[in-house]
């Protein structure tokens, strides 16, 4: 096994080495959106020069566009571990989730139930609440406040033979908790419910295998895993064929095209292919013996997970010694395989916005607020106080950047003493 070559990784991302008014920026805003490799930028502009056309035309650039769309589907199929025709593209995860909830709503009866969780981003909550207009009943699963892990007993209590859909996050974008999705799927399937997984936060942090999870749907967003602004959805073929999408009548009615409304973001798909190429190359660098793209992608994501675990340890250990810091989520390093390196915290006497602004002035980019994980910030009692400060790390971040953050927080504390 080769080592994780952080210098090579960073050299792929031009944004990481830019000078922003005297500072080299530290991007700890990854859960809001990641930076992209140069190859992604090049692929997007190359598409616009050489292939820019609508699909299904009888001329060269349109044929290239058709090939590009098919090739993007193949790349994502390898990323998620599914078949090409189980991959759907859309504007972003939220739009895809609304499209699917609306389609599922067509077959619901009043009194049918949908289970959502308080750990989730509202992109996997509001589309299901929208179905209350057809008489669906939405049940909300709680989490353990002490470590922000899902309350599985509560989930079991909420499931019944009336449950039609369970909407669950793979990982929480505010505090990093990774849910045991395979277990949730088993429990949901046991009562005959379908499972819709929001993997937007998880996707840059570990391998995804939709067959092993046995989930029915799984959505993610390329701009959270080093790509452009394109939404991606996996659906089991049988469901994609059976459910009725809202679509324009002349558009193809075959799977997967029937789920793709309007013209796709072709240059975004060109960038998405290059993103997956980048991850494949990373996989081949960390594990020389991989035989195919899928295995290389799994190797890349497993190596990223190991490296990120080390980052989590350094970050959480460092934050724990800073006076006034309250950390939310899993802090016991023995359980770090159940979290991403995304940390939610508060600093006594300052709003998350004020801290994010002071860090921003020092070139350290973090996020503040509820990150649309409103159920979580309300339950933690921080929503009325400005939410949380979120420090979100990725495989392109470094120990040195963590140390800069810790020093900056010490300085902010000292300035207010």
Contact set with ligand PLP (CB under 6 A): 31, 92-94, 121, 123, 169, 173, 198, 200-201, 221, 231
Q: Which residue has the tokens 């460092």?
A: 318
Contact at 8 Å (CB) between 306 and 282? Answer: no
Nearest to 356, CA basis, from 345, 328, 308: 345
CB closer to ligand PLP, 201 vs 285 = 201
CB closer to ligand PLP, 184 vs 296 = 184
Contact at 8 Å (CB) between 218 and 199? Answer: yes
CB closer to ligand PLP, 201 vs 404 = 201
Provide, rounded to whole angstroms, the least separation between the CB of residue 119 and ligand PLP.
Answer: 10
The tokens of 345 are what? Answer: 């915290």
Provide, rounded to whole angstroms, the least separation between the CB of residue 395 and ligand PLP.
Answer: 17
The count of other CB atoms within 10 Å of the CB of residue 8 is: 11
Give the 3-state secondary structure of residue 57. coil
Contact at 8 Å (CB) between 37 and 275? Answer: yes
CB closer to ligand PLP, 31 vs 227 = 31
Alpha-carbon distance 72 to 78, whole Å? 10
End-to-end CA distance of the chain: 48
Nearest to 141, CA basis, from 110, 174, 104, 187: 187
CB closer to ligand PLP, 93 vs 184 = 93
Nearest to 141, CA basis, from 184, 203, 111, 191: 184
Residues sharing a CB contact under 8 Å with residue 73, sequence separation 6 or more, in sequence order: 84, 85, 87, 89, 256
> Measured in whole angstroms, how far is the alpha carbon of residue 243 from the centre of its chain?
25
Provide, rounded to whole angstroms, the least separation between the CB of residue 109 and ligand PLP.
Answer: 28
268-to-69, 80, 302 alpha-carbon distances in Å: 10, 18, 26
Provide, rounded to whole angstroms, the least separation between the CB of residue 73 and ligand PLP.
Answer: 18
Provide, rounded to whole angstroms, the least separation between the CB of residue 315 and ligand PLP.
Answer: 19
Strand order in the sheet with 367-369: 325-328, 342-347, 388-392, 367-369
CB closer to ligand PLP, 115 vs 409 = 115
Provide, rounded to whole angstroms, the least separation between the CB of residue 234 and ligand PLP.
Answer: 14
Residues sharing a CB contact under 8 Å with residue 375, sequence separation 6 or more, in sequence order: 117, 118, 119, 120, 122, 125, 140
Provide, rounded to whole angstroms, the least separation between the CB of residue 412 and ligand PLP.
Answer: 26
CB closer to ligand PLP, 4 vs 223 = 223
Provide, rounded to whole angstroms, the least separation between the CB of residue 91 and ligand PLP.
Answer: 8
CB closer to ligand PLP, 169 vs 386 = 169
Provide, rounded to whole angstroms, the least separation between the CB of residue 120 and ligand PLP.
Answer: 7
Alpha-carbon distance 110 to 19, whole Å? 57
CB closer to ligand PLP, 25 vs 228 = 228
CB closer to ligand PLP, 76 vs 408 = 76
Provide, rounded to whole angstroms, the least separation between the CB of residue 94 and ligand PLP.
Answer: 3
| CA contacts within 13 A on the Cβ side of 326 | 16
């Amino acid at each position: 096994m080769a080592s994780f070559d952080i210098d090579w990784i960073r050299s792929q991302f031009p944004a990481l080495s830019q000078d922003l008014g005297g500072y080299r920026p530290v991007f700890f805003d990854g859960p809001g959106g990641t930076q992209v490799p140069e190859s992604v930028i090049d692929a997007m502009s190359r598409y616009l020069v050489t292939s820019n056309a609508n699909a299904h035309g009888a001329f060269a650039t349109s044929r290239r566009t058709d090939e590009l769309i098919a090739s993007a589907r193949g790349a994502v199929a390898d990323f998620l571990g599914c078949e090409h025709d189980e991959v759907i593209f859309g504007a972003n995860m939220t739009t895809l989730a609304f499209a699917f909830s609306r389609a599922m709503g067509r077959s619901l009866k009043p009194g049918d139930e949908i289970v959502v969780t308080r750990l989730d981003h509202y992109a996997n909550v509001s589309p299901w609440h929208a179905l209350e207009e057809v008489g669906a009943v939405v049940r909300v699963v709680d989490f353990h406040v002490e470590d922000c892990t899902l309350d599985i007993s509560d989930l079991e209590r909420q499931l019944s033979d009336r449950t039609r859909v369970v909407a669950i996050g793979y990982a929480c974008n505010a505090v990093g908790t990774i849910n045991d999705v395979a277990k949730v799927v088993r429990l949901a399937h046991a009562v005959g419910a379908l499972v819709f997984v929001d993997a937007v936060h998880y996707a840059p942090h570990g391998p995804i295998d939709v067959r092993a999870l046995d989930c029915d749907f799984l959505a993610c967003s390329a701009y959270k895993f080093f790509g452009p602004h394109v939404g991606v959805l996996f659906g089991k073929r049988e469901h994609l064929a059976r459910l009725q999408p809202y679509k324009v009548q002349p558009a193809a009615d075959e799977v997967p095209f029937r789920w793709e409304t309007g013209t796709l973001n072709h240059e975004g798909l060109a960038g998405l292919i290059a993103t997956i190429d980048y991850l494949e190359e990373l996989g081949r660098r960390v594990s020389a013996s991989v035989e195919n793209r899928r295995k290389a992608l799994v190797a890349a994501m497993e190596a990223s997970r190991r490296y990120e675990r080390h980052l989590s340890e350094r970050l959480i250990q460092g934050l724990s010694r800073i006076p006034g810091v309250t950390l939310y989520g899993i802090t016991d390093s023995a359980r770090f395989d159940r979290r991403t390196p995304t940390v939610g915290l508060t600093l006594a006497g300052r709003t998350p916005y004020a801290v994010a602004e002071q860090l921003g002035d020092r070139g350290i980019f973090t996020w503040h607020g509820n990150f649309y994980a409103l159920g979580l910030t309300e339950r933690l009692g921080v929503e009325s106080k400005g939410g949380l400060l979120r420090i979100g790390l990725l495989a392109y971040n470094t120990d040195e950047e963590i140390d800069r953050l810790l020093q900056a927080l010490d300085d902010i504390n000292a300035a207010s003493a």
